[in-house]
Amino acid sequence: MTTLTPILTKNWDQPDSYTLAGYEREGGYRALRTALGMEPDAIVQTVKDSGLRGRGGAGFPTGMKWGFLPPSSPNPRYLVVNADESEPGTCKDIPLMMANPHVLVEGVIISAYAIKSNHAFIYVRGEVLHVIRRLQRAVEEAYEAGYLGRDVLGSGYDLELVVHTGAGAYICGEETALLDSLEGYRGQPRLKPPFPAVAGLYGGPTVINNVESISSVPSIVANGADWFASMGTEKSQGFGIFSLSGHVTRPGQYEAPLGITLRELLDMAGGVRAGHRLKFWTPGGSSTPIFTDEHLDVPLDFESVGAAGSMLGTRALQIFDETVCVVRAVLRWSEFYAHESCGKCTPCREGTYWYKQMLKRLEAGQGSEEDLETLLDLSDNILGRSFCALGDGATSPVVSSIKLFRDEYLRHFELGGCPFDPAKSTLWAGA
């Protein structure tokens, strides 16, 4: 399997891809007309049958999530799109919204109609002003064209869509922290249950989905569940955007069926930058355990990546060549987690602080093998004991790097410094 499947990325190279005219020229909003002619429950069933699984990291089946909404409730139902995208390495939703905001808007309208919601929100991180402007303009255009507002395309269905900007906190991508932030509170995760499907935004039944999940819905409605399910693997169906970054010849977004391998993607991306070789990589962002060149042929689907000891996550493939010190990379990620920990629970708040302190020392070559055991012990006290998945994610780079690159940590201690520091040595031959 070496072919790309440009669907969400199909018209990114068109100069007006982000405008209503550009989107409609490529068949945009036709799926909405089809959807409005269907019963809402039939759309939910189509999404279930397609096998679409959440593209925000966890891979939960989207149609099943929609089916969890209680059939009746005194409160309004809400659809919330998670466009916070703040994980290091993850960079698919922002370019998608930049190049093709209307596919998300169309996906929101169809999805909100399917779950019988009249209020939808796109929660987007506040730093990406250029994307916010594009989204807001796309929403305005959709209102002007009668795709949003009262009586959408004369169907009798009403939908209000609000683009809400966050203030730039990674934790606000966690779905319940996002809801708190959207309600105007400090973004911290909520205790579950109740799950958002039962009591979410303003206490109402709420569906929260990732940008790419919702953007995949128009193509599923237009082409059918079987079309979508024919791509990918048996349990990880469809296509996804794979983001290649770092030491790769042609970094960028590669939209391909799930189950493609890094080897195949690298072939298309011109390989690791000239004169260098792959040392380690993340399959799905900084919170997924790292892989090495031994994992080049692991199919990038939820099951295979899990069986190989990591997670598919957000398909954020960060490529590091042999010039990179793995201890330094792990230190940088740990600094991020310590900074972004919301402080609500002790294992993550204290654990990420101590990760940062210890790794700074270890990277400077001031440590011993015993410290690695302390780091692993600390990780045991964070993983599975944190209130939300941010804490769990923080352990991934630490534990996986010690497992795969113990020798490189030890070399720092032998040398009394970083082997990648030109003052200490030229590149360490064992790297």
Ligand X SMILES: Cc1cc2nc3c(=O)[nH]c(=O)nc-3n(C[C@H](O)[C@H](O)[C@H](O)COP(=O)(O)O)c2cc1C
* Residues near ligand X (CB under 6 A): 54-58, 60, 82, 84-86, 170-171, 173-175, 208-210, 213, 388-390
Nearer to ligand X, 170 or 254 (CB): 170
169: contact with ligand SF4 by CB under 6 A: no
Q: Is 317 in the site for ligand SF4 (CB under 6 A)?
A: no
Choose between 86 and 346: whose C-beta lies nearer to ligand X: 86
- For the CB of residue 174, give the shortest distance to ligand SF4 in the complex, in Å: 7
Among ligand SF4, ligand X, none, the one that 345 touches (CB under a kind-dependent 5 to 8 A) is ligand SF4
Q: Closest Cα to residue 260, out of 281, 239, 284?
A: 239
Q: How far is the CB of 202 from ligand SF4 (least distance, A)?
A: 22
Contact with ligand SF4 (CB under 6 A) among 326, 390, 404, 418? 390
Which one of ligand X, ligand SF4, none is in contact with 391 (Cβ closer than 5 to 8 A by kind)? ligand SF4
Of residues 186, 199, 212, 185, the one with CA closest to residue 82? 212
Alpha-carbon distance of 293 to 311, in angstroms, equals 16
- Is 393 among the residues that bind ligand SF4 (CB under 6 A)? no
**With b meaning 16 or more CB within 10 Å and e meaning fewer, what string describes 398-413?**
bbbbbebbeebbebbb
Closest alpha carbon to 392 in 311, 300, 304, 327: 311
53-61, 63-71, 226-234, 387-395 -> range binding ligand SF4 (CB under 6 A) = 387-395
Q: Which of 386, 395, 400, 401 binds ligand SF4 (CB under 6 A)?
A: 386
Q: Give the whole-angstrom CA distance, residue 408 versus residue 225.
A: 48
Do the beta carbons of residue 279 and residue 324 sit within 8 Å? yes
Phi and psi at residue 386, in whole multiples of 5°?
-90, 160
Residue 242 partner contact from ligand X, ligand SF4, none using kind-dependent CB cut-offs of 5 to 8 Å: none
Whether the Cβ atoms of residue 426 and residue 400 lie closer than 8 Å to each other:
no
Q: Given candidates 273, 349, 361, 424, which one binds ligand SF4 under the rule CB under 6 A?
A: 349
Looking at the Cβ atoms of 85 and 408, the one nearer to ligand X is 85
Taking CB under 6 A as the criterion, the residue among 30, 137, 344, 424 binding ligand SF4 is 344
Under the binding rule (CB under 6 A), the answer on residue 345 touching ligand SF4 is yes
Which partner, ligand X, ligand SF4, none, binds residue 46 by CB below 5 to 8 Å per kind?
A: none
Rounded to an integer, what distance in angstroms lies between the CA atom of residue 317 and that of residue 90? 8
Q: Residues in contact with ligand SF4, total (CB under 6 A)?
A: 14
Shortest Cβ distance from residue 170 to ligand X (Å)?
5
Q: How far apart, in whole angstroms, are the C-alpha atoms of residue 94 and residue 257?
A: 20
Q: Which is nearer to ligand SF4, 38 or 58 (CB)?
A: 58
Nearest one of 220, 228, 231 to 110, comparing CA atoms: 220
Residues in the chain: 431
Our CB check for ligand SF4 shows the closer of 137 and 344 to be 344
Examine residue 391 and tell whether it contacts ligand SF4 (CB under 6 A). yes
- Out of 146, 270, 343, 430, name the contact with ligand SF4 by CB under 6 A: 343
Nearest distance from residue 355's CB to ligand SF4, in Å?
Answer: 12
Angle CA(380)–CA(385)–CA(388) in degrees, nearest 5? 125
- Looking at the Cβ atoms of 345 and 362, the one nearer to ligand X is 345
CB neighbours of residue 95 within 10 Å? 18
Lay out the sheet containing 278-282: strands in order across.
252-257, 239-246, 316-321, 278-282, 291-292
Q: Is 260 or 390 the residue whose CB approaches ligand SF4 more closely? A: 390
56 interacts with, out of ligand X, ligand SF4, none, CB within 5 to 8 A per kind: ligand X
Contact 84, 178 (CB under 8 A): yes
Give the count of beta carbons closer than 10 Å to the beta carbon of residue 246. Answer: 16
Binding partner of 170, given ligand X, ligand SF4, none, CB within 5-8 angstroms per partner class: ligand X
CA separation for the pair 396, 95 (Å, rounded) = 26
Q: Shortest gap between Cβ of 121 and ligand SF4 (angstroms)?
A: 22
**CA dist list (Å): 221 to 55, 215, 421:** 17, 11, 54
List the one residue from 8, 52, 99, 171 that touches ligand SF4 (CB under 6 A): 171
* Pick 300 or 390: Cβ nearer ligand SF4: 390
Is residue 312 within the footprint of ligand SF4 (CB under 6 A)? no
Cα distances from 264 to residues 9, 236, 297, 403, 413, in angstroms, run 19, 18, 8, 26, 37
Residues that bind ligand SF4 (CB under 6 A): 171, 189, 341-345, 348-349, 386-388, 390-391
